[in-house]
Amino acid sequence: MVVERLLAVQAQDMRGARLAVRPRSTGVIGNDVDHALTETKTLLVSWLNRGTLHLVTADDYWWLSALTAPQLVAGNSRRLRKEGVAPHDTDRGVSVVLGAIAARGPLTRAELRAELVRAAVPARGQALVHLLLAATLRGGLVRGPLRDGEHCFITATEWLGPAPRQLDRPEALARLARRYLVGHGPASAADLAKWAGVRLVDARAGFEQIRDETKPEANGMVDLVGRPRAPDLPPPGLLGPFDPVLHGWASRDFVLAGHHSIVTTNGLFRPFALVRGRAVATWGLANGRVTVRPLEPIAREDLARLRADADRVLAYLGLPPTPAVVTT
């Protein structure tokens, strides 16, 4: 499974999370991700790692949340105060959210906002998001099932059942290092620290725990012994917003190749086209049509392959075939 191999896929943009699965799998469509979220309960979304939403397997949620979520508490408290939510309002808000879900089952963001408004808890603007994060940190809130295409919130124990045995910290750091290298090796401790949002000393401790399972690589990187390597660069294709290739390592320059506008100043990661391992264009999907916007000259044969991949994107998302447009 793609998500299992990558361990965590950034998912504040759910279309981007679905699209991250597409080029790394065969015989899968976007609705399969939705099915895993809603029916089989094998995937879910929660605030993990760097404090952003991530798509993970249900099995990985428990230990990864226990390891990475506590580091978000201080920042969450500061942001709530900045949004005008006093500590006692935060306490009430968390109780309202968890109580509503316990009484009514999975609820959408809009439904939870209505519950908070009825309870006179400040929930305007970004206050709602950070109240939901507080409920995540205190009560194990996750985004599980989809209802009419919209994610619903539910507690992990109500959705998945009782939590398994919690790993001790050295064991959890070793698992983090090992599983990170499965999907991102070769890499350094600095890469792991950046990706997971953990301290560099913790990333180094995790790598030290699995030293007998790794081998040294160039530039201070390590990799798992026997980990299969892709023999060639991937064919030209379209990657979605917030694609994992831009989040897996401390530097993304090897992919961006100078096209830093792909990552905007307000932290958005645009969908982009990859040719020979380098970003060469951005692209968008509006009104059922893919538009490719080159950032540099692209060879005719590579453009043809990008057009063909645009057809595959539409099929993956269940949209009717429509020829892609390439701007000049």
CA nearest neighbour of 3 among 39, 38, 40, 45: 45
- Work out the percent of the chain whose per-residue pLDDT is above 70: 100
Cβ pair 187, 248 in contact under 8 A = yes
Stretch 70-99: mean pLDDT, rounded?
A: 96
Say how many Å lie between the first and final Cα of the chain, rounded.
Answer: 38
CB-count exposure of residue 315 (10 Å: 0-12, 13-18, 19+): middle
- Model pLDDT, residue 106: 97
Stretch 95-108: mean pLDDT, rounded?
A: 97
Residue 219: pLDDT band with limits 50, 70, 90: confident
Q: What is the mean pLDDT of the chain?
A: 94
Q: pLDDT for 290-320, tens place per residue?
A: 999 999 999 999 999 999 999 999 999 999 9
CA nearest neighbour of 180 among 201, 164, 194, 165: 194
- Strands 52-57 and 222-224 turn out to be unpaired
Q: pLDDT for 102-123, tens place per residue?
A: 999 999 999 999 999 999 999 9
DSSP characters for 81-148?
HHTT--HHHHHHHHHHHHHHHHHH-SEEHHHHHHHHHHTT---STTHHHHHHHHHHHHH-EEEEEEET
Q: What is the dihedral of CA 115, 118, 121, 122, to 10 degrees?
A: 90
Question: Is the pLDDT score of 101 beyond 90?
Answer: yes
Cβ pair 236, 302 in contact under 8 A = yes
For residue 48, what are the β-bridge partners?
A: 52
- Model pLDDT, residue 267: 80
- Model pLDDT, residue 231: 67
Q: pLDDT for 155-214, tens place per residue?
A: 999 999 999 999 999 999 999 999 999 999 999 999 999 999 999 999 999 999 999 999
Stretch 116-142: mean pLDDT, rounded?
A: 96
Which domains occur in the chain, in start order? 2-160 (no CATH), 169-224 (1.10.10.10), 237-326 (no CATH)
Here the tokens at position 253 are: 């320059």
Nearest-angstrom CA–CA distance, 155 and 135: 9
CA nearest neighbour of 45 among 123, 132, 110: 132
Count of CB atoms situated within 10 Å of the CB of 120: 10
Stretch 270-292: mean pLDDT, rounded?
A: 95
Here the tokens at position 183 are: 């999907």
Cβ pair 238, 310 in contact under 8 A = yes
DSSP H helical ranges for 161-259: 169-184, 189-196, 200-209, 253-256
What's the chain's Rg over C-alpha atoms? Answer: 21
Question: Is the pLDDT score of 97 beyond 80?
Answer: yes
Residue 281: pLDDT band with limits 50, 70, 90: very high
Here the tokens at position 71 are: 């580091």
This prediction's pTM: 0.94
Cβ pair 279, 255 in contact under 8 A = yes
- Work out the percent of the chain whose per-residue pLDDT is above 90: 91
- Model pLDDT, residue 7: 97
Residue 1: pLDDT band with limits 50, 70, 90: confident
- Model pLDDT, residue 266: 78
Cα angle 281, 23, 44 (rounded to 5 degrees) comes to 110
